[in-house]
Each structure stands twice: as C-alpha cells, then as structure tokens.
Amino acid sequence: MFGIGLSGFIATLALALIFTPLVKKFAFRVGAVDVPNARKVHSRIMPRMGGLAIFSSFTLVVLLFLAFIPHNLMLAYNRNLIGALLTGGTIIVLLGALDDRFDLNAKLKFLVQIAAACVVVFGFDIRMNIVNIPFGSAMQPLGDWVAIPLTIFWIVGVTNAINLIDGLDGLAAGVSAIAIGSILTMGVFMNNGTVVLLSILLLGSIVGFLFFNFHPAKIFMGDSGALFLGFSLAMLSMLGFKQVTIVSFVTPLLIIGVPLSDTFFAIVRRKVNGKPIFTADKGHLHHCLQRLGFSHRKTVLIIYSIAAFFGACAVVQSVLSARGLGNWVTFVVICVLVFLLQIGAELIGIVDKTRRPVINFIARLLAKPHPDSRGK
C-alpha cells in the first residue's frame, strides 16, 4: 500500500509539473486570462485554467491505476466511489474551464453544480445516510428525503467555498492541500484505502501545481481548479467518514474550517452592510490580513497555519472519538473554535471594522472599578 501511494504521489506531482506550463500556453492562446481591476491584487494579465493541470494529472494516474494494478489489489478500493469523483469532477472542471474563458452566469454555474451533485447521488447512489447526533447513543439513519438534499447541499456548498478564498497566489491550492492532508491522515487511521489513495494522488497534483502558483504566481488555477478542489474535498470528506460510526459530522466541517468560516463571515458581512450575498468585495480573510500590513507571502502563510490548526483539530477529534471521547471532545472543540473565530474576526474586522461586541464585553469584565465608585 505504501509503495503504491508513494509512486502515485510522485507520478501526479511529475505530471502536474509537465502539464502546468502547457496549460499556461493554452490559456493565453484561447484568451482564458485574468485582467487586473480594483478588486484584484495582481497588476498584470495572468493566465487561468490552471485547474486543468491538477485535474489532468490526477485523473490520468487514477485511470492508469485502475487499468494496470492487479485485480486482487484493486479489490481493496471502492471503484464506485472513484467513478463518482471522476465523473462529477469532470463536469465541474469543464464548467470551471468554460467560466475561466467566458465568465458564465452565476445561476448557470449553480445549476450545473447541482447537476454534478445529482450525478453523484443518483448515478452512483452516494449520500449521507447516517449522522452522529452529539451525546446520542448511536448513529441515526436518515431517510432519503433528508439524505439526498443534505448531500447535494454539502457538495455544492463546499465546491463553492474553495472558490471564495482563491484571492492570493497559492492560497486556495495550499489550503486545499492541507485539508486533503488531514483527510489522508484520518483515512490512514481508519484504514480507508480508497480515500487514502485518492488523497495521495490529489495531493501530488496540487503540490506540482504549487511550484507555478505560489507567490509570485505564473498561472492561476481559475474556477476550473477552485471548483474541482472544492468538489474533491466535499467528496473525500463525505466518502471517508459517512459510514464511520465513531466520527461526528463535525469532523469534515473542521477539515474545511478556513473556507467555511470565510464564507460564513462573508455572508454576515454583506447582510450587515445591506449588500447581496453574492456580491464580490474586498473583505475576505486575506484582504483583512493585508490591510493589517502583512505581505502577500506572509498573509498566505498565516492562512496556511490557520488551516493546519483546523486540520489538526479534526485529526485529534477523530482519534479521540475512536476512544469513546468523541461527544465531549466535539463539544469542547466547537465552543473553543467558535470563540476564537469570533475574537479573530473582530480583531481583523472581517465583518465590521467598528463592531467588537465580544472583545468589548470581555474588556468590561476585566476592567477595574473606579476608586470613587467602591464606597457607593
């Protein structure tokens, strides 16, 4: 198993190194470029469609594995899950590539994403059919009337979450790589060969692409990359843990904690300011950090650290869950993370630069009483 994984990682990494320069030339040729504007942080025309290199290297190696690995070894892998990821991923990548070139209508993109999720649910019979209710006695089964819309919502939501943080060189790719690394770690602990293999191959393709995408980037992944990585994260987190009775549903939420929290705060920020939730702005996490004076590279590395913290929490939570401590650990982790997220959001002004309700409340609690008021 280790030899197969290592060879697959090297193969996808090498192919990504080969494909990315070719995709860069192709993007310029077809006009799939990102032109600077007031909201963008780059100052020159950049090629998009980098996601094609990630997807091509990953898919090619997966197909080679399916074709040439001996049948007795492939029995350890779930072909249905692999087929669902490749089929749905192909739809998503084609959608993203067309958007990179033609800037498609948001409603059309949303409908195609729902269609890709429906292919996974109805074509491959994959859905979240059980859920762990905190402090419950066992996993609770879900009827199709709940499982189907929940699965579609999860896939579409996570697919778009990665796209929202794709604002700096190497940011979306690096955060995705960290999240996939967390899934890989838990897949090893749970002996889930399919998730381990797919995570290793995807990780290799992302690392290869990052050689060209980290600051200063030579190519952007575009929607073809961000949507595909989001879709892959949605699938791997769901496929890896939906049937494991010892792991709470909060685990995959922790894995994608950075894009999920950034999306949540973006919705709140736009609601507070009376703007449509789909209106683009410069209030995301990376924008706030740069306004505080951090450089492009340092901002990305800080967000990498936050993503790694979320991933470590997910791994610890899942490991302790296996030892019967999952409910209490989940409760404590959620409380601590929500508190830290709120404090962090108020400090950097991700929702509103002037409103700091929690920080002000804590300050009042810690404030010393005025000497003249003690005797009254």
**Distance between CA atoms of residues 122 and 95, nearest Å:** 20
State the number of CA atoms in the 13 A half-sphere of 99 facing the CB.
26
State the number of CA atoms in the 13 A half-sphere of 221 facing the CB.
38
Q: 87 near 155, Cβ under 8 Å? A: no
Question: Known binder of ligand: residue 125?
Answer: no
Which two structure tokens, joined as six digits, stand for 250? Answer: 């909060």
Q: What is the DSSP annotation of 212-252?
A: HHSSSPSS--HHHHHHHHHHHHHHHHHHHHTT-TTS-THHH
Question: Known binder of ligand: residue 99?
Answer: no
> Whose CA is closest to 86, among 109, 53, 108, 119?
119
Q: 210 near 174, Cβ under 8 Å? A: yes
- Within 10 angstroms of residue 101's Cβ, the number of other Cβ atoms is 18
**Distance between CA atoms of residues 111 and 324, nearest Å:** 41
Annotated binding site: 163, 223
Annotated binding site for Mg(2+): 163, 223
